[in-house]
Chain A
Amino acid sequence: MHQLPSKGKGATPSALSRSKMHETLLVGSVPDRVFKFVTATAAVVVLGLVSMIVFQLTTKSWESITRYGLAFITSDMWDPVFHEYGALPFIFGTVASSIIGLLIAVPASLGVAIFLSELAQKRIRRPVTFLVEVLASIPSVIYGLWGVFVLIPLIRSVQPFIQTRLGFLPFFQGPPFGYSLFTAGVILAIMIIPTITSLSRDALNAVPNHQREASLALGATRWETIWNVVLPYNKSGIIGAIMLGLGRALGETMAVTMVIGNQPEISMSIFMPAQTMASLIANEFNEATEAIHLSALIEIGFLLFLVTLTLNIIAKLLMIRVRGKGAHR
């Protein structure tokens, strides 16, 4: 007997076969085939774009890859005049500024996410969500502008305070330039808070309510429930959110370029200027007249691409569980 597709939860398998039936039965006539071909072509363009990125980055940086090999990432000499290209200072700058950014952004974002999914009433949830979205929609060049004219003067005046307490540690030494790893980290933190917040809020929303109720019924306080039950339940989703935030931080260009000082130096102190991979490209790409210089810069871009690609893939695998429900809230 042919079964009618039922409504409700049982509808999923039959809905699948329904859509499959539509495809196989109905894409038959010539116009249908043409239409399918056109949309498939557009889909192949997406595939083509990614292949093009990989192909271009590989071939255009090949000269530098073969000439410097592994020394490219282990050497700290970057001297276009003598054709010495070592990316270590930029890898350091990128990683260090992103870590500072994460150290600030992760607790703040988790706090906001907990607030939105566990504590806030509907009335206040909406404006807070809206504000976080506004934060996400601000272009990075405006973050940079604000960083240069507001944040840097602020950090210049705050830095001596921190140094009177912690100045004996090598991490907090140095003159108050303002342009520093720390400033870049703060800007990055503000920029990735919306990403981590909204994704980890989705992760928390996906935690079933009976988990909370069970914990509360056992006599746990609200905070104990959040800390011991809700957060661990969807750990992978939260880690995925953090990794996506990290991916954004590593690749962020404009705001960082404007506040980090652009000095290819590796120093212990977070108050010293540095330079990231992305800001190096932004600064030197237009001035690179020699082929090998350009090739080295493209290799930096290639490295950046590979790192963010890996992070995104891991994050995606971690967040598959979250996607199922709670993603639309």
Chain B
Amino acid sequence: MSCRRKFIDKVMIFVPWLCVVVTVIPLISILGYLIYKGSQTLNVAFITQLPKPVGESGGGMANSIMGTGIVVGLAGIFGIPIGVLAGVYLAEFGKHTKLGWIVRFLADVLQGVPSIVIGIVAYTVVVVPMGNFSAYAGAVALAMMLIPFLTRTTEEAILTVPEDIKEAGLALGQPYWRIILGIVLRSARGPILTGIMLAIARIAGETAPLLFTALNNRFWHRGLNGPISTLTVQIYSYAIAPFNDWNAQAWSGALVLILLVTLLNILVRTVARSRYIERS
């Protein structure tokens, strides 16, 4: 083997290593700054108090943290049943049907729709008819992002359940719906739960679809049919504001957000590892 080829090989094999380092640097920088800057103004007041008026320091994002919980929770209530049931349809009834093929395809399409476009549609179908920005509108927008993801993960989860188990149920004379609910969904509950938590973590970090649906609110929300603050929108408005106080609080808000998202992700990992690893 010529020296030149050997040399090129040595050099080029090194390049992917370099790519890994280059990719990891921004990650470390982001996480480092989040912890460093975020922890400076993070205190008990930050998670228990309302924002202070402009000019006064202190205060917190309690309303936004709660708002994120409410909007994401509502989105879950709207979206999880539909997503899971549609996934059941795809895996159990829609394997070879035209409807199954179309829905599978459209679920993938829907996952690729930019979130800001989802926000526009939620605005035209919820905000305009109801006449005001609301937690409902934000939840509808987030549910539209949650449903296709959950449909596909549920389908894939169910497809890992062996046919033999189903046949065992059939042999016991169980009706088909009981087999699906009692056996199939039960065996696939690990991956489905993982999918639900991943989906929740993902929509909790969404900002664009909430900008003109849930809007924002500097106070506690008054009912679900009114504007509500969310952590992401609040971080955005504080980050681009010209006040140092607010910028600092944006970092703390971001730290809280990333902690929530990471917590969900860790939960997913432990759930997925501990109990359901042998299967599939």
Contacts and interface: CB of A to CB of B under 8 A. Distances in A.
B100 interface: yes
Contacts of B116: 251, 253, 278, 281-282, 301, 304
A222 B6 CA distance: 10
Interface residues of A, number: 93
A278 B176 contact: no
Interface string B91-120: 011111001101101111110111111101
B117 A108 contact: no
A16 B212 CA distance: 47
Contacts of B144: 49
Interface in A16-58: 16, 18-20, 22-23, 26-27, 29, 31-32, 34-36, 38-47, 49-50, 52-53, 56-57
Contact of B30 (A138, A222, A282, A286): A138
Interface size class of B (residues with CB under 8 A): 35 or more
B9 A45 contact: no
Nearest to A110: B19
Interface in A47-90: 47, 49-50, 52-53, 56-57, 60
Contacts of A44: 99, 103
Contacts of B88: 39, 42
A233 interface: no
A250 interface: yes
A253 B114 contact: yes
A139 B89 contact: no
Nearest to B11: A223
A137 B89 CA distance: 29
A17 B219 CA distance: 59
A110 to B, nearest CB: 8
Interface in B158-192: 163, 166-167, 170, 175-177, 180
B19 A139 contact: no
Contacts of B100: 43
Interface stretch (A169-177, A207-215, A266-274, A309-317): A309-317
Interface of B: 1, 5-6, 8-9, 12-13, 15-20, 22-24, 26-27, 29-31, 33-34, 37, 81-86, 88-90, 92-96, 99-100, 102-103, 105-110, 112-118, 120-121, 123-125, 144, 147-148, 151, 163, 166-167, 170, 175-177, 180, 201-202, 204-208, 211-212, 215, 232, 235-236, 239-240, 247, 250-251, 254, 257-258, 261-262, 265
16 contacts: A39-B88, A44-B103, A46-B147, A49-B144, A50-B109, A108-B19, A109-B19, A119-B16, A131-B23, A139-B232, A145-B235, A145-B254, A223-B9, A282-B211, A298-B124, A305-B113
Interface of A: 15-16, 18-20, 22-23, 26-27, 29, 31-32, 34-36, 38-47, 49-50, 52-53, 56-57, 60, 107-112, 114-115, 118-119, 128, 131-132, 134-135, 137-146, 148-150, 190, 193, 197, 219, 221-224, 227, 244, 247, 250-254, 258, 278, 281-282, 285-286, 297-298, 301, 304-305, 308-309, 311-313, 316
